[in-house]
Chain A
Amino acid sequence: MSLEFDTIAAISTPPGEGAIAIVRLSGAEAFEIADRVYRSGSKKIKQVPSHTIHYGHIVDPNTEEIADEVMVSVMQGPKTFTREDVVEINCHGGIVSVNQVLQLLLSHGARLAEPGEFTKRAFLNGRIDLSQAEAVMDLIRAKTDRAMHVALSQLDGNLSTLIRNLRGIILDTLAQVEVNIDYPEYDDVEEMTTKLLKEKAVQVRGNIAQLLETAKQGKILREGLATAIIGRPNVGKSSLLNHLLQEEKAIVTDIAGTTRDVIEEYVNVQGVPLKLIDTAGIRETEDLVEQIGVERSRKALAEADLVLLVFNQNEPLTSEDRALIEATNESNRIVILNKMDLENQLDVAQLEQVVDPSSIVRTSLLSQAGVKELEGKIAALFFSGQTGEKDATYVSNVRHIALLNQAMAALDEVVVGIDAEMPVDLVQIDMTRCWDLLGEITGDSVQDELLTQLFSQFCLGK
């Protein structure tokens, strides 16, 4: 007897308005179920060649009433994401028609997929390893092309390869320690001294540290650079916000797994995803023309990775402006002198004594002047000269970062142990622990609750 997975279906595109929406079906009966609701002359999904796309309609078989006009991609397992038979129905965007298509599939044999279930199947069917499974989730949540690229390279197994190389180095070292222990009287193998062990530990630690350096950027790519726009009322915060939010740059999304009422606004600035903090506050302030200023700004500051401090260069610095400078001295800051189309009333030389001159940008948000320069500064600040290194391996997953930090701590303990002149077979315990921890990233060591936790994080239909 054999255990088959049942066939699951879900809307695989994010909820909301879009040009198209995709309903995905996966499982042994995917083709049969699709055929029950798909109409295109005498064409049957079951009979078309694999990996082809077909025009047709989705109908309610009871009434033959058309639910939507669709394109259907037909993919036969195992060369699919889940390794099962997969049908993807490209519907017109909009909640109503997509939901109707999904409902029809559910009422004709499919089951609604649980969160992360497609990816889970891909994993369970041996299609992807653990770090790849996590990458899929990141990919789906990616905010910009660059973030997508990071997720994609992880999907390729880039991170896995890197980690496996590090594990290889550790394993070689451990092996030599072991030989010395189990064959104490043989002079055939060079004695693995604690000095050599320390060298290796420091080397691997360096590599992990490097990888972790990318973590901050990786996190930003994944979650967005928390950005606060602050300044007195009427200096142009609202214009800046609107400028940043204009056209396709705006990404409005709900954070996976939560409800739609936590909406943050993302903008894409030369590949850097900015997560704008307290945009509502900015609008509110302008609308009410009220003196909320510093207090509210301070709050936004606390959670910001980047501060855009806006001054009106048509007015001299006020004490309130100075207070804001004071408050942002510790932050990643870009100072924007707005309204450069108007007369300069602000003493720039004086300002340059209290802020880094290279962090100052002059703009006229009204005439778009200086805006490109501002965007360039934001990108430069983030990538700190590393722009364009698309193939660099970024660590962006929180679990990976935590494990890497623990691995690094284990290596630190190796060094501490060696410096304290602990014997090699004890120091080895920490070295082995580092090896185990790195293995948890790639899934080469098993950790019991990992999977449950991991898969519960996935969004519906991914």
Chain B
Amino acid sequence: MNQYEAGNYDVVVVGAGHAGSEAALAAARMGAKTLLLTINLDMVAFMPCNPSVGGPAKGVVVREIDALGGEMGRNIDKTYIQMRMLNTGKGPAVRALRAQADKYAYANEMKFTIEKTENLTLRQGIVESLIVEDEECKGVVTNAGAVYRAKSVVLTAGTSSRGQIIIGELKYSSGPNNSIPSIKLSENLEALGFELNRFKTGTPPRVKASTINYAVTEEQPGDEQANHFSFATPDSAYLRNQLSCWLTYTNEKTHDIIQANLHRAPMFTGIVEGVGARYCPSIEDKIVRFSDKPRHQMFLEPEGRHTEEVYVQGLSTSLPEDVQHQMIHSVVGLENAEMMRPGYAIEYDVVVPHQLRPTLETKKITGLFTAGQMNGTSGYEEAAGQGLIAGMNAALSVQGKEPFVMKRSDGYIGVMIDDLVTKGTNEPYRLLTSRAEYRLLLRHDNADLRLTEIGHELGLVHEAQYAHFLEKKAQVEAEMKRLGKTRLKPTAEVQAFLEEKGSAPLKDGILAIDFLKRPEITYLEVLQFAPRDFALPRAVEEQVEIQVKYEGYIKKAAEKVEKMKKMEGKRIPERIDYDAINGLATEARQKLKKIQPETVAQASRISGVNPADISILLVYIEQGKIAKIEAE
């Protein structure tokens, strides 16, 4: 193939899925001349699996992306067909927003945004190799021979990386949804010395809406109450005409069909070699592992307004196509359902993430970043969060600026990246709220308060968004101050209200802010007795309520952060010779050598490194008795 010089860029992003889209937008918005290359222009921000965005932890990530000036939140707000708040019965730390997306509208909207963005070129092309000189990445070469020179390269190849689709006995080379896979790039990474691993994920079949008997399923409508992902989307934009999802269950018959065909299930016959996720199992996996469960939930989710395709959540499978037909027909409501696409499993290459810095730059090759599913995660939100960070750091590196690393105490994106580069993952990594030790501080309602400043400093948050944020911040502070000054008297009216609530009567006057601290009293109720003559947005009211009501717990969480800060500040010298530290357990020694943590805190999070090992490490560091490996 003849090669030709196709252009010079600051940043080249390879792959235009959810990670690549954010990466390219971030780099371009920060002023870097950016090229976004994708195998197929019709698959920009494509949703090959579930047509939804958000949920526990993931929803917070979307808000964090929004606060940092990323696109995912705004894009879903323009293209959702249903919005629901989850965990409303629980506390503020775990409330989670989830949207059903019109997957075609979502992809189109994102593509259009990218096309309109300054400094950003979107182009079709299959990248086959990287240009690497002196352990520095200088660009990419496509299968058509186009040579794109760049100062930084971000790889977001996702499940395309040597992807193989498996349906029963059928196995063929393919990217997601029968797209062209990226094979040469994987080989190139291997040749460059990267350690790759093989993961597996899957997707359920899609059925035709008009062939579903919805009457025998349970309707799950969207919320009445307006909510959006982006802090910039007003409540007034809330979609009233939402589409419902529907709940049904597998049954004994479904399970019998699966049992009878396990000998044809790639999961068990050895055809699938990649490691799948425990928390996102295929239906055959669920039935084998939880054989005592008589039924499993299935949600029927519309894929968009202008399609009949319905996603069968909970029925992810790689059983043969004929078995999939039988399975579907065994389910209540789907007796006559027509399967439009079969479910499939897909295996793909991942870059083992301990090879990355917390900036998502590879340790081996300067200027080369990887993000998204390629780093071993699962989910659009996880991918987008990484893409944003990788894109930012690619641009910062080009501009010769300090890199940006999000701390675990600043956001879920920070938790995720630290987990990846520190603990690694032996299955597709999904964010869970339980992965965040400071969960109460990392709420979706305060993502803007946590991160907008950072996004603004980086040049990602535009002035209108920033002004909006400053206003909200000021309003919250002012209202807290007002409640802290307003005294409620034990009037007959107040006492009667309290008695009706079953709340203890007032003995004396009480500050409105202390009144709100009573668990059974809401902010709106406080307003009855501490009225204000000006309106406040709901988000401000919510923020005031949460900050006041849960002050005690928030303080405890903040103390924990402080405690960890000391450990974060304890740096481990570079090229430390772990072999020379006698007391370390063998596993700990191996892990420390492999991951080379930068701080004691990071070391303490490596699985297999026990507190005893950390104590030993601390003693060595304190005593300064550290042996170093000779520089190569």
* Chain A residues positioned under 8 Å from B440 (CB to CB): 425-426, 429
Residues of A close to B550: CB separation below 8 A: 426
1/0 per residue A2-24: CB within 8 Å of B? 11010000000000000000000
Is B627 positioned at the interface, with any CB of A under 8 Å from its CB?
yes
Given known contacts A126-B612, A184-B86, A429-B440, A448 and B585 CB-to-CB distance under 8 angstroms: no
Taking the complex as formed, is A187 at the interface, i.e. its CB lies under 8 A from any CB of chain B?
Answer: yes
- A41-63: which have CB < 8 Å to B? none
Question: A259 on the interface (CB 8 Å rule)?
Answer: no
Q: Given contacts A3-B580, A444-B611, is CB(A429)–CB(B94) below 8 Å? A: no
- Asked whether B614 is an interface residue with its Cβ less than 8 Å from the other chain, the reply is yes
As a 0/1 sequence over residues 402 to 429 of chain A, the CB contacts with chain B under 8 angstroms (1 = contact) are 0000000000000000001111111001
In the complex, B90 has a CB within 8 A of chain A: yes
A124 neighbours in B (Cβ, 8 Å): 582-583, 616, 619
CB proximity of A441 to chain B, nearest CB, Å: 11
Asked if B577 CB lies within 8 Å of chain A CBs, one says yes
Taking the nearest CB of chain B, how far is it from the CB of A8, in angstroms?
14
Contact of B580 among A2, A129, A430 (CB under 8 A): A2
Is the pair B580, A1 in contact by a Cβ cutoff of 8 Å? yes
* B28-55 Cβ-contact flags toward A at 8 Å (1 or 0): 0000000000000000000000000000
Q: Which of A181, A188, A445 contacts B90 (CB 8 A)?
A: A181
Inter-chain contacts of B625 with A (CB < 8 A): 3
Q: Considering the complex, which residues of chain B in the window 77-123 have a beta carbon less than 8 Å from any beta carbon of chain A?
A: 86-87, 89-94, 96
A451 touches B297 (CB 8 A): no
Chain A residue numbers with a CB within 8 Å of B616 are 123-124, 126
Q: A1-B580, A126-B583, A187-B297 are in contact. Are A451 and B90 (CB under 8 A)?
A: no
**What 1/0 mask marks residues of chain B from 564 to 587 whose CB sits below 8 Å from any chain A CB?**
001100100000010111111100
Query: In this assembly, does B57 line the interface, its C-beta being within 8 Å of a C-beta of chain A?
Result: yes
Answer whether residue A392 sits at the interface, using C-beta atoms and an 8 A cutoff.
no
Q: Are A181 and B557 in contact (CB under 8 A)?
A: no
A452 x B622 contact (CB < 8 A)? yes
B297 touching A182, Cβ below 8 Å: no
In the assembly, what is the distance between CA of A245 and CA of B321, in Å? 91
CA distance A415 to B553 in the complex (A): 14
Q: Which residues of B contact A129 (CB under 8 A)?
A: 612
**Complex: how many Å from CA A423 to CA B581?**
45
Q: Report how far A129 CA is from B615 CA in the complex, Å.
A: 10
Stretch at the interface among B175-183, B399-407, B408-416, B431-439: B431-439
Q: Would you call B594 an interface residue if the criterion is a C-beta within 8 Å of the partner chain's C-beta atoms?
A: no
Q: A439: CB under 8 A from chain B?
A: yes
Judge if A165 is at the interface, Cβ distance under 8 Å: no
B153 to chain A, nearest CB (A): 35
**Contact (Cβ within 8 A) B519 A421:** yes
Interface secondary structure of A, over-half rule: loop
The distance in angstroms between the C-alpha atoms of A3 and B57, with both chains bound, is: 45
Beyond A1-B577, A426-B550, A429-B553, is A182–B93 a contact (Cβ under 8 Å)? no
Between A5, A120, A426, the greatest number of chain B beta carbons within 10 A of the residue's beta carbon is seen for: A426
Bits for B268-280, please: 1 = Cβ < 8 Å to A, else 0.
Answer: 0000000000000
Q: How far is A183 from B433 in the complex, measured between Cα atoms in Å?
A: 10
- Whole-angstrom CA separation of A2 from B580 in the bound complex: 4
Of B296, B434, B566, which is in contact with the most chain A CB atoms at under 10 Å from its CB?
B434
Find chain A residues with CB under 8 A from B519 CB: 420-422
Q: Find chain A residues with CB under 8 A from B570 CB.
A: 448
Q: Which of A427-462 contact B (CB under 8 A)?
A: 429-430, 433, 439, 443-446, 448, 450-452
Cβ 8 A contact of A426, one of B87, B93, B290, B612: B93
Query: How far, in Å, is B422 (CB) from chain A's closest CB?
Result: 15
A184 touches B96 (CB 8 A): yes
**Known A126-B585, A184-B86, A426-B93; contact A443-B611, beta-carbon cutoff 8 A:** yes
Q: How far is the CB of A448 from chain B (nearest CB, A)?
A: 6
Contact A188 B91 (CB under 8 A): no
- Hey, which chain B residues are within 8 Å of A183, CB to CB? 56
Count residues of B near A (Cβ-Cβ below 8 Å). 54
Q: Which residues of A contact B433 (CB under 8 A)?
A: 178, 181-182, 425
Residues of chain B with a CB closer than 8 A to A444's CB: 610-611
CB-defined contacts of A184 to chain B, threshold 8 Å:
56, 86-87, 90, 96
When chains A and B are docked, how far (Å) is the Cα of A1 from the Cα of B627? 8
In the complex the two chains form, what is the Cα distance from A103 to B611 in whole Å? 38
Determine the chain B residues whose CB is within 8 A of the CB of A3 once the complex forms.
577, 580-582, 625-627
Indicate if the CB atoms of B622 and A186 lie closer than 8 Å: no
Question: Cβ of B593 < 8 Å from any Cβ of A?
Answer: no
> Chain B contacts of A181 at CB under 8 A?
56, 87, 90, 94, 433-434
CA distance A420 to B550 in the complex (A): 12
A130 touches B (CB below 8 Å) = yes
- On whether the beta carbons of B293 and A188 are closer than 8 Å, the reply is yes
Q: Does any Cβ of B come within 8 Å of A185's Cβ?
A: yes
Contacts of B584 in A (CB 8 A): 126
A125 within 8 A of B: yes
Q: Could you tell me the distance in whole angstroms from the C-beta of A111 to the nearest C-beta in chain B? A: 14
Asked if B611 contacts A445 (CB within 8 A), the reply is yes
Interface check B393, CB cutoff 8 A: no
Chain B CB within 10 A, most for which of A178, A185, A422? A185
Most chain A beta carbons < 10 A, residue from B57, B550, B556: B556
Contacts of B577 in A (CB 8 A): 1, 3
Please, which residues of chain B bring their CB within 8 A of the CB of A451?
615, 618-619
Which of A2, A125, A178, A448 meets B618, CB within 8 Å? A448
Nearest A residue to B570, CB-CB: A448
Is A433 a contact partner of B556 (Cβ separation < 8 A)?
yes
Query: Which B residues touch A186, using CB under 8 A?
Result: 297
Residues of B within 8 A of A452 (CB): 622
Shortest distance from the beta carbon of A378 to any chain B beta carbon, whole Å: 41
B498 to chain A, nearest CB (A): 15
In the complex formed, the residue of A with least CB distance to B56 is A182
The residues of B that contact A426 with a CB separation of less than 8 Å are 91, 93, 440, 550, 553
Q: Is the CB of A125 within 8 A of B582?
A: yes
Cβ of B627 and Cβ of A2 under 8 Å apart? yes
A410 to B87 CA separation, bound complex (whole angstroms): 25
Within 8 A of A (CB), among B283-315: 290, 293, 296-297, 299
Return chain B residues, CB-CB under 8 Å to A439: 611
Of B86, B90, B622, the most chain A CB neighbours within 10 A belong to B90
- Residue of B with least CB distance to A124: B583
Binary contact track A318-358/B, C-beta < 8 Å → 1, others 0: 00000000000000000000000000000000000000000
A387 to chain B, nearest CB (A): 36
B630 to chain A, nearest CB (A): 8
Interface status of B520 (Cβ within 8 A of chain A): yes
B296 surroundings in chain A (CB, below 8 A) = 188
Residues of chain B within 8 A of A120, CB atoms compared: 619
Instruction: Tell me, yes or no, whether B330 is within 8 Å of chain A by CB.
Output: no
Rounded to whole Å, the gap between the CB of A350 and the closest CB of chain B is 51
Given A181-B94, A426-B91, 7 extra CB contacts under 8 A: A126-B616, A420-B519, A424-B90, A425-B440, A444-B610, A445-B611, A448-B566
23 examples of A-B residue contacts, CB within 8 angstroms: A5-B582, A123-B583, A125-B582, A130-B612, A178-B433, A181-B56, A181-B87, A184-B87, A184-B90, A185-B86, A188-B290, A421-B519, A423-B90, A423-B92, A425-B439, A426-B550, A426-B553, A429-B440, A433-B556, A444-B610, A446-B614, A448-B618, A452-B622
Q: A residues engaging B (CB < 8 A)? A: 1-3, 5, 83, 120, 123-126, 129-130, 178, 180-188, 420-426, 429-430, 433, 439, 443-446, 448, 450-452
Q: Which 4 A-B pairs have the closest CB atoms?
A: A423-B91, A178-B434, A3-B580, A425-B91
